[in-house]
Structures are given as structure tokens and as C-alpha cells.
Amino acid sequence: MPSHYRSAVLFTFALGLALYVAYLVRDVLLLVYVSALFAVVISPGIRIVRRIHIGKWRPSRGLSILIILVFGLGLLGLLLAFVIPPIYRDAEALATAWPQHLAALSQKIRSFPFARNLDPGIVRQHAATAIGGALGVFTTLAGGLLGFFSFLILTAYFVVDGERAFDWAVSLVPREHQSRLRMTLVRAESRMRLWLVGQGALMLILGTLTLIVFGFLGIKYFYALAVFAGVTNFIPIIGPLASFALSAVVAALESPGKLLAVVIFYVAYQQVESAFLTPRIMKSTVDLPALAVIIALAIGGSLAGILGALIAVPSAALAAVLIDEYVVKKNSPAAVRK
């Protein structure tokens, strides 16, 4: 067998083996990828802290990381002391009372003339499946403590040693392509970071407004509903729909007036977000069409559930930058003329 055929066979075998091993450890690889993604967001914070100086003294990279860590732990402590208890009480009460809420909801639905022949069991089954999946976000977040701490450790390592890991990854490609790949990945990194920061701002805005408005309206479980609205807003399109559905059901069980108020609030917020907040916060971020976002969410959710949906859009942004650099530009008329 000629040497080039033997090399091709060995390469194909090695590639297939690598893909098989990657499939076996896909959960670990997903955790590593998410950690690297969030390290991209945190890294600029370290550069900001390092700009602080007292006379000729400036904090080192390690001290900057320690300052950010202490600040984050302090913020987490405040959350645990003042914010988490009412949220936990609301979430626990909502989960405990949910069967009774479903029974009351099915009775209200059957009071309408067109729904008198509707089986209440079917209503409870479908409502429990839909809302139970939504409430499962809290269970998933609370039950993954080991994965969460592993995520924190990996993120810290990426922050500390991310540049060397990045240089090593780029060095795997031929030398003549390294400069172009490095510039492309840096551009993708900036785009992903801006999207993550912007999406975090939108999460905070929706969660805060929901807390204020629902608290003013006196809607039950408004602490838990506000957290759910903020967290799920990280997932474009699907997240706001899920939070609206849960809030509308809870409000409908109290009074038609509160249901109408919830509908007006979400409609008004979506108008403000789409017309004012998103264009200004996301002006220079992913710039992906809505169809691409929906496809990315569907693929991410199918492959890795909630976590896959969370990272779907920034991953699509990375893919868009790579396609733009290596496919679109390569086949553009200007490139052909050259």
C-alpha cells in the first residue's frame, strides 16, 4: 500500500476514534465549552481591575482574579441572605400547590361553553407537562451543585491560563494559516462576549420589572415568577414565552383582572424591548436572523437540553464569524478577481 494511502487510512481511523471518544465524554466537553464561554465574558473584568493603580503599584493578574472572586462571593452572600429565602419560599409554595391550581384551572376552562366536553384529565396532563418542564429549571439548577462547582473551577482556570490555551489551539493549524485564524477567533470572541453581556442586561431588566410590577399587582409567588422570567430570558424567543405562560396561568387562577394586567405587561415590555432595549444593547453583537436563532435553539436544546439552549446563540455567532471568514469571503467576487 502506498504511503499516502496508508496515511489517509490512519488519519480516518484516528478521526473516527476521536469522534467516538468525544461522544462518550460529551457531557464533560460541554462543561469545558461552557466554562470557556463564560471565561471570555469575565476576562475583560480582569483587565479593568488591572488598570487600577495606587502610585506605581498595580494589581497583578492573580490578585485581580482574587478581587473579582471576593466581589462575586460577597454578592452571592448578599443574595443568599436577602434574596434567595423569599424566592425559595415562593418556588416551594408554587410547586406544592400546583396540583390544586391545575384542578381549579381545568374547572374554569370547563365553564366555557365550547369546553364543556373537555376531559379535565387531559388538561391537567398537558398543563403539568408544559409547566412542569418550566418549573424543572429550578430543580435542574438546584440539583447540579457538583457540575456548578466544576464549572467554577474550570472557568477560573480558563481565566488564568486562557491565553496559553488559545495559543496552543491556534498552533495546531499550519503556520501560514495561524494569523488569519487568530484574528477570526478574536473577532468571534468579541461578538460572543457582547451578546452574553447584552443578554445578561436584558435578563436583569426583565426580572427587576417583573418583580416590581407583579409585587405591585399582588400576584402570588411574584418572587419566583420574577426570577423565572429573568433566567429564562437568556433563551431568546422560547424563554419569554415560557415565563409568560407560567405567569399568565398563576394570574388566571386569581382573577381575570390580574391575567389582563399580566398580558398588558408582557405585551408592553416586548414592544419596549424590541423597539428600544434590544437595538441599543445588542447593536453590535451577533446580528443573526431570527430563523438562524430558532434553528440554533432547536439544535442546542435537542443535543443538550436547557444548557444546550443557553449556549446555542453564542455558538451560532461563533459559527457565523467562521463561515463569514472562510466561506463567504473566500467565494466573494472580490476574492475571485484577486
Higher pLDDT, 94 or 115: 94
Determine contact, residues 317/285, Cβ cutoff 8 Å. Answer: yes
Q: In the predicted model, what is the mean pLDDT of the chain?
A: 74
What is the full DSSP assignment across 160-209?
HHHHHHHHHHHTTS-HHHHHHHHHHHHHHHHHHHHHHHHHHHHHHHHHHH
Which one-letter amino acid corresponds to residue 156?
A
- Give residue 40's Cα distance to chain centre: 14
Higher pLDDT, 14 or 134: 14
Determine contact, residues 108/114, Cβ cutoff 8 Å. Answer: no
Digit-coded pLDDT (tens) for 118-160: 555 554 555 555 444 444 444 444 445 566 677 778 887 887 7
Contacts of 335 (CB under 8 A, 6+ apart): 329
From the list 192, 204, 194, the residue with the least C-alpha distance to 273 is 204
Residue 267 pLDDT > 50:
yes
